[in-house]
Amino acid sequence: MSIVLQWTVAAAILLLIPLLVRFGRGRARGKAGAAMLLIGLAFGSLFDPAKAEAMETVHKRRDQREEAGQDGG
């Protein structure tokens, strides 16, 4: 994912926090904590360098397989 897109998603999440908290308080107690947990998980997966490196490796292997299939066929 590009850096600009990551920061855009991060900004959107930050702007939605007050809305999520307000929505959680209106529904039932404890929902705001769940919303914050989901936001934390979203940030963790978005900015996880190990995940980004793993996805890059997967894309490289896929490209290598496609090139090998086109050359051999």
- Burial level of 36, CB count in 10 A (0-12/13-18/19+)? middle
- pTM of full prediction above 0.75: no
Q: Please list the rounded mean pLDDT of every run of 10 residues in the chain (73 residues).
A: 81 82 63 74 76 83 86 55
Do the beta carbons of residue 3 and residue 10 sit within 8 Å? Answer: no
Residue 11 confidence (pLDDT): 86
